[in-house]
Amino acid sequence: MSETYPEIRESIRALCGRFPGEYWRALDRAREYPSDFVKALSDAGMLAVLIPEEYGGSGLPISGAAAILEEIHASGANGGACHAQMYTMGTILRHGSAEQKARFLPKIAAGELRLQAFGVTEPSVGTDTTAIRTTAVKKGDRYIVDGQKVWTSRAEHSDLMLLLARTSPREQVAKKSDGLSVFVVDMKSKGLTIKPLRAMINHATTEVFFDGLEVPEENLIGVEGKGFRYILDGMNAERILIGAECIGDAKWFTAKASDYAKSRVVFGRPIGQNQGIQFPIAQAYARMRAAELMVREAIRLYEAHEACGPEANMAKMLAAEASWEAANACLQTHGGFGFAEEYDVERKFRETRLYQVAPISTNLILAHLAEHVLGLPRSY
């Protein structure tokens, strides 16, 4: 990845400077969505970077989006409020029809529509995506959707949702990954109910219930029954971009810890003079740099349209582990002050812990590598 986007990074740092720790702490206390921050990113064109220029976007590859999200997190902010618009975009760009692109992309690029919700996970199946029970039954020129999704973040703050539903019963298809289809859903449609889920972090996550929801057939993306492959494309992008966020988090934690270690004086000397403080921060930094290389490799393969499933998964896993190690080192460096709200360490500590579990758990990534890369017997 030769392009590092210095001008975009500088713009993001300046934008994030308008939303300091006090802004995020207030939202975290109230569990409120960062509407002003998301609007500022939209107005600056940052959420439209992956949209081609003919539709009003910047036409950048995924490395541009990764640079934006990394810099948001390295600035102490949280890209979770808007990152879905980045990784769901690939499904429309790669598999959507010309009519769908012309209908949705210009309005998304202009900030008139938000594509922030990604409806895949269900309560009873978790990461076993092919076992989802939400159905979409074709009736005339419409699909009737019934079912439930969970951990659907930003559903209350999105105009559109990318939805995965079963259009053919699992027992009637040759492969269990067949019979799944992807739709663009208007969140203002009747038959859709949203229930907020209060969680450890302020991530605007929800449950979504579908009861006779009607989706026009022109909102079906690609070919009916082939949606699982389209979602996998989006999931590779999702893992890469989450990896970039984790790299940003790790950079924030190591910088925060280093600054504090240099300024905090105990027993007449800065605590950063002690190797017991230095080494955990240095180790976290080294692991961040190694994970950063894997993120870049996954980006390179993705942009070349080459198979990148293992690399995207490893990038997300290694970056998430690096950010968590950096978070622990930062909290330990701050001691009791690390638990104080005003330092922002405890908030970021909670936020980066998410990525050990979502969008896919570390255990599932290891199982994927064991089976598909190392050729070990399938474990599930």
User: Among 165, 188, 190, 181, which residue's Cα sits nearest to residue 220?
Assistant: 181
3-state helix, strand, coil in the chain (%, to 5): 55, 15, 30
| 145, 134 contact by CB (below 8 A) | yes
CA–CA separation, 161 vs 91, rounded Å? 12
| 114, 272 contact by CB (below 8 A) | no
| 233, 95 contact by CB (below 8 A) | yes
CA–CA separation, 104 vs 158, rounded Å? 13
Which of 238, 292, 321, 346 is flagged as catalytic? 238
CA–CA separation, 119 vs 182, rounded Å? 10
| Residue 53 appears among annotated catalytic residues | no
| Number of Cα atoms under 13 Å in the Cβ half of residue 185 | 33
CA–CA separation, 176 vs 172, rounded Å? 9
Tell me the three state secondary structure of residue 296.
helix
| 111, 98 contact by CB (below 8 A) | no
| 135, 147 contact by CB (below 8 A) | yes
CA–CA separation, 353 vs 348, rounded Å? 8
CA–CA separation, 183 vs 160, rounded Å? 10
Give catalytic residue positions: 238
